Amino acid sequence: MPTQSFQAAADSPTSLDDAWSALQRADTWEGIAGVDDVTDPTHGVDGQLTGFGFAATVSGLRYPGQAAVASASPPNEMRLELTTSEMSATIDVRLTASGETTRVQVALTVTSKSFLAGMFFPSIAAAIGRGLPTAVEDFANRLAAG
C-alpha cells in the first residue's frame, strides 16, 4: 500500500515542561494530520496520555479512528499511532528546549490500508503535505495555550 512521509517544525512560546504537559491533553492533537473531533481520552495512572478517539478529515472525506501513544520519552519525544478503516499514520513529536521557547518537530507517515484509499492516496497525501506546516505552527501555539 502507498506510504508517504512529511516533516515540519515550529517554535512554541513555552517551556519544554509546559509543552510536554500540553501533549497530555487530547485536544492539543486537533489539527495534526487532519485530526479533529477528539473524544474519549485515556490516561495512565501517572496522568500521561495513552490514547483517544478521533475523526480525521482529509480531502473532504471523514474517517473515524483511534489514536494510541506508542512510545514516550518525557519530556522530549512522543509517538502516536493512528488508525482508521482506510488509513494509518504515525505522528512523531520531538520537543527541544531553545532558550525561553521550545522547538517542535513533527514527522508524519501516512499509509493507505485499502484499495479505495490507495486510489485517492496521491490527492490525500498532497493535501496533508500542503497543510502540515500550518498545522504544526498551530500545534506549537496550542502547546503554549496551557
Give the pLDDT score at 76. Answer: 97
Q: How far is CA 35 from CA 57, 95, 105, 108, in A?
A: 7, 20, 17, 12
Quote the pTM value.
0.89
Give the pLDDT score at 120. Answer: 66
Q: What's the grid cell of residue 9?
A: 517544525
Give the pLDDT score at 52. Answer: 97
Give the pLDDT score at 125. Answer: 74
Identify any residues that bridge with 82 across adjacent strands, giving them in sequence order: 67, 89
Give the pLDDT score at 60. Answer: 72
Residuewise pLDDT in 10s, the chain (146 residues): 788 899 999 999 999 999 999 999 999 999 887 788 899 999 999 999 999 999 987 667 778 999 999 999 999 999 999 998 878 899 999 999 988 899 999 999 988 886 555 566 677 777 777 888 999 999 999 999 76
Between CA 36 and CA 12 the distance in angstroms is 21
DSSP code at position 66: E
Between CA 1 and CA 68 the distance in angstroms is 22
Give the pLDDT score at 70. Answer: 98
